[in-house]
Each structure stands twice: as C-alpha cells, then as structure tokens.
Amino acid sequence: MKTVIIGGVAGGATAAARLRRLDEKAQIIILERGEYVSFANCGLPYYIGGVIQDRNMLTLQTPESFKRRFNVEVRVCSEAIRIDPMSKTVVVKNWKSGDIYEESYDSLILSPGAEPIRPNIEGVKRENVFTLRNIPDMLRIKQYIEEKNPRSAVVVGGGYIGVEMAENLKLAGLDVTIVEMAGHVIAPLDGDMAADVHQYIRSKGVGLCLNNGVKSIQEGKVILENGEIPADMVILAVGVRPETSLAAACGITLNSRGSIMVDRHMRTNQPDIYAVGDAIEVEDFVAKTPAFIPLAGPANKQGRIAADNIAGYTSEYTGTQGSAVLKIFDMTVATTGLNEKTAAAAGIRYDKTYIYSAEHASYYPGGAGMSIKILWDKASHKLIGAQIVGFGGVDKRMDVLATVIRLGGKVTDLTKLELCYAPPFGSAKDPVNMLGFVAENVISGKLKQFFWHDVDDLSRDGSVTLLDTRTVMEFARGQISGFINIPLDSLRQNLDKIPKDKPVYVHCHSGLRSYIACRILSGHGYDCYNLAGGWRLYESVMHDRAVPEYKCTECK
C-alpha cells in the first residue's frame, strides 16, 4: 500500500503520522512545494513581534525527523503539477533540480491549504506589501523590518491574522493601523461583543479604521475609500481562498467557492483520492450547512480521519463548529458555534443573553471581568453559540461551552455542570453556571429581557417606567436618557414612586442587580423587563458607535 500526500503542515503531516501508526508496512510519501513540511503557522506573527525569538521553535518536523520517527519520505521543494486519477499517478517537479517525474499511488491525500487573497488594487505588488502564510513570508517581513526600519504599518483586514499581526508589529516598534471594510473586527463576533475589543485595541495605540476599504497603495501611504494613512509597509490579511487548481484540473468536484467537496470519510469524487484541511468544504456542525472554516484543529482531525479510512478503519468527520481563541496584547477573545448573523442565515429562531462575570472569586486579587454572550435555539433550547471577551479565564470557559455544543447540550444543562473551584481559579457559581441560570430564568418566564438595541426605541412619554438601579455614584458617572435612579437597596422603600399599571424597564451595571430588582417588582405585581448585559454593555456599544462615521482614528 502506497500513499502519496500532497502538502504537509496540519492536515498532511498529521495524516502521514497517523497512517504510519496504523500501518507499519505502508509506503508513505509527502510532497511539499515549499522548504518546510511541518511548521506552526499559527505562531508566525509572534516571531515577527519578538515574542518567539528562535525561529527553529516553529519547525515541528523536518524531513529527517519524519524519516527517523515515522519512516515517512518527505520531499520538499517538490510540487505536484498534475494528477491522473485513471493511471493513479502524480506528476512532480523538483524545484531544486528542475527534474519532472511521475509518482504512482494507491491512495492520494490532498492537503494544499488556502492561499492569502491579494485584492486587485493599485500598488498591491509593491515590495513593501506582504502576506503571511508560511515561514518564508515570515522571514521576508522580519527582514524588511530589520533592514528598512519602517516606522508605520497598515494591516488590511481585521480578522484573526490581521489583529495578531497588528499586535506584533506594534511590539516590533511600528505605528500600526488596522483597516477593515466591515463594521467590526473578528467576523465570528457580533458587533456588540466587538465594541470592547475596539476600545482595547485603540487603548494600546493601534489605529482602527472600520467601514473603510483600500483604494490603492502608494509610496509612503495607503489611500482609503475615505481618507489616507501613512504606511511604510502593508500587510494584506483580507482572507484566504482554497488553493485547489490542481484538484480542479483532474476532475475533482469543487463547490462554487472553489473548495474541494468531500464526504464524511474525507473522500473526493475521484477513487482513492482524499482531501483535508483549509482547501475543503465542511459542514457547519451547528447550522448543518456547507461552510468554509479554515482552522488548524479541524485540519488535524481531518488528516487523522483520512488516514483511518485508508488504513481500513471506518472514521467520519462530523463537522466544524468554529471554536477559536485569539490573543490581543493581554486581552483574550474566544468564539464557538453561531453568532446572530449566522444563526439568522441558517433560519434558526434563537434567543440570547449576556453576563459580565469575574474570572475568579471577586475577593481574590488580580481578577478581571469577562463579557459573555450565548445563543440558544428557542425550540430545542440547545446551546448554539458563545462569545467571550476578557482577560484571564476566557479560554477555559469557552472550551466548556464548545464541549456542550459538540455534545448537543441544552443551555439549561449549564446549570448542572460541576466545575473546578478555588478562589484563584473561579467561583462557586462559575460564569458557565451563571449563563445557565440566566437562560433558565428566561426560558421559564421568571426573567423578561430587553436588549441594548431596544433602548432607544423605549417610549419616553410616560407610558412606561424606565428605572436605573445602580448606586447614586454610578448614576452620576453616566446614565441612559429618561431613566430614573432608585438604587436596588432602597427599591422596596420607594415602590410608591413607580406606577403599577405601566411596564417597568430596569437596568444596572451588568444585569444582576436589575434582575433582583425585577424579582422584587414582580413580587409586588409589576410587569418588569431587565436590560441584558446592563449599562456596561450598552455604554460600550454606544461609545464605539460614537466614533466618527467611517470610524478611522488615523485617517488624514
């Protein structure tokens, strides 16, 4: 049995190692177009910023180490230029020697990955314009910074790579601005959850231009649809596209986006040809719709599954839910499952709520708050998505929520989870439990919510009562127009000031005290609604939206 794997890194290298563990006698060949067969591409920005100082730490395996440990033959600088499914051969070009030869296979795995998109704009081919996909790209960027000493950089695109590059260019000493065509960075976040991220990015001295596009790249500057920014160098991080021309040429079925279509066993439509990684179409685990979700974790799993099936072990890939985490200086952003946009597109009737909780016991020093948002299916109550923005403790909460989604759990199941507790690590009622308590109250009717986007539409003509239950000092620091202040602890003594024949819309800082207020009011016969996420979320979103129209802090 001879398996040829086109492309290394996450999917291809994992498939090779797994296949060897399953079949000691198989002949396994990896064809890698570049010089590096297995490297930590997610770590590339951190070498540029100096966080990782030894570039060899990014090289996970070499051809020699693959041979020693797994008896896999790795041929670097060897590009597959044609596949013949009928004869089961691959035509290969060795870029060092120039030789072209044929390699036969019994099974073939395609792991070509995805390539950065270069928009068709003036100046995109200038020497100071870069993309980041592999180690040679990383070294070119690092060399340019060291040799040319640029003072300013523009990162085009506010996705994961764009934000990571902005952080690391800032750490390298450059003035950095992110330009993003959408209304917020990090597309899996909803706009309300991105508001905190925007404020934090700006607080770290990184410029942010939202709702703005790049028209051209010129000497020393980037011309935008609205304004221009100084730029000695430019990083293009506007997204990736599947690199599938080789697959298309041999009759493998692609979708309209150009992704390779595979079944759950990672098989293409061509016999004995499998495909894995960023080049393939996957099923969104929650929405059950076709998706393009290029992430390292799923690519590794797909490589393993392809190897299982080649070795005769039935194995299936059950979809990608998009669990991801991002470091932005000291901030952590994590997402899993659907956001409001993708849930609506999938036709799911969902509900949502927010909490703002400390990462560990509030009396233990050093804790910071986490802003958490979850979505659940109104019909089934299944948890379908979560977003967290904070500092410490974000990743472990998101991993719990991602696991609940993967196991088909309901949002009310969060109340039942027994999670580790000690003051330095969490609270007796963990934020994950609190999410379940809030959702359970909503579902059971104990809690009626309204949201930040409903606030401006609330009548100020006296037909409803608008109540702020924060302290007098909190109220003095900022308030929502039309809301009267009656602190929670004096609410029972002031019920005569609140008409009982009108709905009452209540808020506090985070939603907790106003929930208690609503329970008090409900117990006295009032119809009460609580502001989910509280003043903190409302103020964050409103502050973010108050930035000038095209939201550019650096445009001239």
**Active-site residue set:** 42
* Both tokens assigned to 355: 């909490």
* Both tokens assigned to 161: 């790579």
CB atoms within 10 A of CB 339: 24
* Both tokens assigned to 193: 């959850």
* Both tokens assigned to 296: 């390292």
Instruction: Classify residue 11 by burial, with Cβ atoms within 10 Å: 0-12, 13-18, 19+.
Output: buried
Which residues fall within 8 angstroms of residue 401, CB to CB, at 6 or more apart?
Answer: 336, 374, 383, 386, 414, 432, 435
Pairing of strands 282-283, 214-218: unpaired
φ, ψ of residue 131 to 5 degrees: the values are: -120, 165
- Is residue 267 within 8 Å of residue 273, measured between CB atoms? yes
Which contacts of 157-161 are long-range, i.e. CB under 8 A and separated by 24 or more positions? Answer: 157/236, 157/237, 157/238, 157/239, 158/182, 158/184, 158/185, 158/186, 158/208, 158/210, 158/237, 159/185, 159/186, 159/187, 159/237, 159/239, 160/186, 160/324, 160/326, 161/45, 161/132, 161/237
SS3 state of residue 21: helix
Instruction: Classify residue 27 by burial, with Cβ atoms within 10 Å: 0-12, 13-18, 19+.
Output: middle
Fill in the amino acid letter for 311. A
Q: Which of 158, 169, 161 is nearest to 131 (CA)?
A: 161
Largest CA distance in the chain: 90
- Is residue 260 within 8 Å of residue 275, measured between CB atoms? yes
- Find residue 155's DSSP bridge partners: 178, 235
Which stretches does DSSP call E strand in 437-536?
Answer: 449-450, 465-468, 484-485, 504-507, 528-531
Instruction: State the Cα torsion 179-321-277-325 to the nearest 10°.
Output: 50
Tell me the CA end-to-end span of the chain in Å, nearest whole number: 63
SS3 state of residue 114: strand
- Find residue 28's DSSP bridge partners: 3
Alpha carbons 43 and 66: distance in angstroms, whole number: 21
Which residue in this structure is represented by tokens 């994590």? 334
Alpha carbons 253 and 154: distance in angstroms, whole number: 38
Pairing of strands 107-110, 2-6: parallel
Instruction: State the Cα torsion 120-122-125-129 to the nearest 10°.
Output: -100
